[in-house]
Amino acid sequence: MDRLLSLQVFSRVVSEGGFSSAARALDLSPTAVSRLVSDLEDHLGTRLIQRTTRKLALTESGIVYLQMTQSVLQQINDADIAAQNSSSVLMGTLHILTTPMLASYFFAPLAARWRERHPEVMLDVSVDPFSHLRVEEFDLTLMAVGDDYDGDIVARALGRTERILCASPGYLLRAGTLACPCELREHDYLEFPWKKSPGHSSGHRLRLTHDMLGTAPVDVEMKVVLQSLSFDVLLRAALAGAGLCLVSKHLARPYVREGALVRVLPEWQAGGLTIYAALPTRKFVPGRVAAMLDFLLAEGRQTFGPDPG
C-alpha cells in the first residue's frame, strides 16, 4: 500500500466532501479512491469515514487521524515547493483563473511574451465572470473590482481603468444624442449583471457622478435590452448599434479613435475598476507563481499606467 497516496486521497475526500468529488479533483476513478481509503482503514485497523447514502461523516478516529496528519501533508507540500523554487528553470503547470474580459483583452495578448521567458511552464487558464469567489482554488486569480470592494484577499493591484458610457454612431443617429443623465432611461442599455460582482450595486441602476458640479451621485434606472456575463457579447452588440454600454476606457480607446464608438455624456463618471492578481495564500508561493505575478505587475504598468497602490 502506498501510505502517502492513501493519506492524500483520504484528506481530499474529506475536503471535497465525497468520494466522487475527490476522484474528479485527483483525476482518479471513484473505485480507486474508495479502495485507497479502505486500504488505509485496513492498515490502521479502524474505520475513518462513516459512509451513508446521504452524506459522508468522519468517525472519531477519522477526526483525530486527520488532525494529526494534516501537518505532515503540509510539510511535504512545502518541501515540494522549496525544491521546485531551488531550480533555475521554472517548470510545471500554472493554474490561473480570470474573468472573460481580462482573459481576452489583457492576459491572452501576453501569453507569447511569457512563453519566451518560461517555455517549461504550461498555462492552464480557466474563465469565470465571478473569479473573486474562487481565489482559493487556483494558483493565481485575475479579477476586476469596483471602488467599494473591500474583500479580505492576498492580492496585488495591476492597474486601474475608468468605465465610460459608449454607443455606436449608428445607434445615436437612430435613438438621438443625450444631454443629461435623466435621458438615459429612454435608451436601450446593454448590461453586465454585476449582482455577484464585488463593489457594484445590484439591479438595473447606473450610478453617475459629475466631479466639476460637486453634486450627489445620480442613479438612473436603465432600460436593459441585453444582459450577458460575456463582456465580448456586450461590446460586439454595442459596436453593431444595439444600445449603450459601459466599457473600460483602455478597451474603448481604439474604437473611439476609429469612430466605431462614441463616448456618451463624457463629463459624467461611471466609476472605475481596479485589476488585481490574487493569491490563495502568502505562504510558500511557488517560483512559477511569483514569476507570473512579477510579470503581470510589469505588464499592468504598461497597459494601465502607474501602480494604483
pLDDT of residue 77 exceeding 80: no
Domain extents in the chain: 3-85, 92-143+279-304, 160-273
Q: Give me the count of residues in the chain.
A: 309
Distance of CA 153 to the CA centre of its chain: 12
Q: How confident is the model at residue 62 (pLDDT cuts 50, 70, 90)?
A: confident
**8 A C-beta contact, residue 279 and residue 140:** yes
CATH of domain 3-85: 1.10.10.10
Q: How confident is the model at residue 123 (pLDDT cuts 50, 70, 90)?
A: very high
pLDDT tens, residue by residue, 214-232 = 678 899 999 999 999 888 9
Q: Is 3 helix (H, G, I), strand (E, B) or coil?
A: helix
- Domain 92-143+279-304 fold is D-Maltodextrin-Binding Protein; domain 2 (3.40.190)
Pick the CATH number of 160-273 from 3.90.950.10, 3.40.190.290, 3.10.20.90, 3.20.20.150: 3.40.190.290
pLDDT mean over 300-308: 74
Q: Do domains 92-143+279-304 and 160-273 have the same CATH topology?
A: yes
pLDDT tens, residue by residue, 111-121 = 999 999 999 99
Question: From CA 298, how far away is CA 157, in angstroms rounded?
Answer: 11
pLDDT tens, residue by residue, 124-175 = 999 998 888 888 889 999 999 887 666 677 889 999 999 999 999 999 999 9
User: Does an H or E element contain 159, and which?
Assistant: strand 154-167
Distances (CA, A) of 301 to 32, 157, 291: 48, 10, 16
Q: Which residues contact residue 213 at a Cβ distance below 8 angstroms, ignoring those fewer than 6 apart?
A: none
Q: pTM value?
A: 0.68
Question: From CA 102, how far away is CA 83, in angstroms rounded?
Answer: 32
CB atoms within 10 A of CB 148: 10
